[in-house]
Amino acid sequence: MAMSTIEKLYQHYRTSIFRYLYRMGGDYHLADELTQETFCRAFVSLKGFRGESALSTWLFRIAYYVYTGYLRGHPGKGSLPLNQDLPDMNRADDPARHLEDAEKWRLVRLALEQLPVDYRTVIILRELEGLTFEEIGAILGKSPATARVTLFRAKQKFNQLYKQLEGDDLD
């Protein structure tokens, strides 16, 4: 039995969309739920897809709106759980290094959590998902140049927050 178009889309893009949503919110179950919602909305809107962007860009744009819609309906739920994605602490080769890596990761998560959603989105999409500025601009409804500037500002803000958190930990 042949797969439908939406099944093919789901199989091909599910992992990327889930990964983006998980990195945005840090909650596995929420990311799974929002991934399902993203594909439900895509299915409903598929006939209206005009092909002005890549399917992946279109799906990321839907995922972005699903996530921001979730945040509007659940104020205060944008925080990232800090116990997720920590380095493996059970490795015997260098426990002190693993503790140091875990602390750095905690600070990264705290700094990401404090970024505005658009800043967090551009960092995740560019640095972790490898999307182009054209794709990121299309997802955010901005020009590629604006996406580039937003990434620059996001990195500046991230570095400022990270250094501040690092300094707070030394006190």
Mean local confidence (pLDDT), 83-98: 55
What's the fold here for domain 93-171? Arc Repressor Mutant, subunit A (1.10.10)
pLDDT band at 78 (very low <50, low <70, confident <90, very high): low
SS3 141: coil
pLDDT of residue 98: 64
Closest CA to 58 of 119, 112, 12: 12
The domain ranges of the chain are 1-79, 93-171
**DSSP secondary structure of 146-160:** HHHHHHHHHHHHHHH
What's the fold here for domain 1-79? Rna Polymerase Sigma Factor; Chain: A (1.10.1740)
Per residue in 124-164, pLDDT (tens digit) is 999 989 999 999 999 999 999 999 999 999 999 999 999 99
The more confidently predicted of residues 82 and 67 is 67
Mean local confidence (pLDDT), 26-30: 90
